[in-house]
Structure 1
Amino acid sequence: MLPGPDEPDALHPEWVSVRPPKVAEAGFSRGFQRVDNYRAPAWPDGPVPQQEHLDFWVESIPDAEKVAVALGAVRAGYQRGEAGGEGFVVFLDPVGHPFCLCRS
């Protein structure tokens, strides 16, 4: 899983980035922006569609679930098939975005 967020930029407090420890080697970072009047997406479908979906490939879904839950995630009420039986489990982040923990 990615490390915690960088410190917010004093000039742009509505933005925060999450970067892997060696961002130059990884070649990516994720930027997040605060949105006024935010409405969470409804999973799997609903009036507000998902804005993004991340898959995190992990060696152990149960071990990664402990980390995700400690950070505020919850298992989604809807799972395709038996949770984990498809090789992944759907979670919702603290503001409702779905993501998957996938068995590598």
Structure 2
Amino acid sequence: ACLCASFDGELLDAACQVVLTAPIRLAKDQLSKLAVAVRAALRSGRVPLVRAAIATLEKWREDLPDELDNDVMPRLIPLLDRYARANIQNTALHETLTGGSS
């Protein structure tokens, strides 16, 4: 998982996908190390990889809330903020262009 940060392109995608799809029983004891792959995926800006990272965080949040809050989230929040702001801007732009209708 720690090597994911040094990969790019398809190798990054493949390495992160392996880590992001790890069974929760494996993730529990290695959450800090596996979070490196989440961080690399979020930094990549590659939409499918970012979506996979966010889905993984949602799963971890559901199954391992204490471990996630204590060890992982403080390091990921700045990266997630970027996507939250982009989503808000995209929603506002969509509403402007469509006159507020969905």
Query: TM-score range, shorter-chain basis?
Result: under 0.3
Determine which structure has greater relative contact order: mean sequence separation of CA pairs < 8 Å that are 6+ residues apart, divided by chain length: 2
Q: Comparing both structures, which one devotes a greater share of its residues to helix?
A: 2
Q: TM-score, normalised by structure 1?
A: 0.26
Q: TM-score, normalised by structure 2?
A: 0.26
Q: Comparing both structures, which one devotes a greater share of its residues to strand?
A: 1
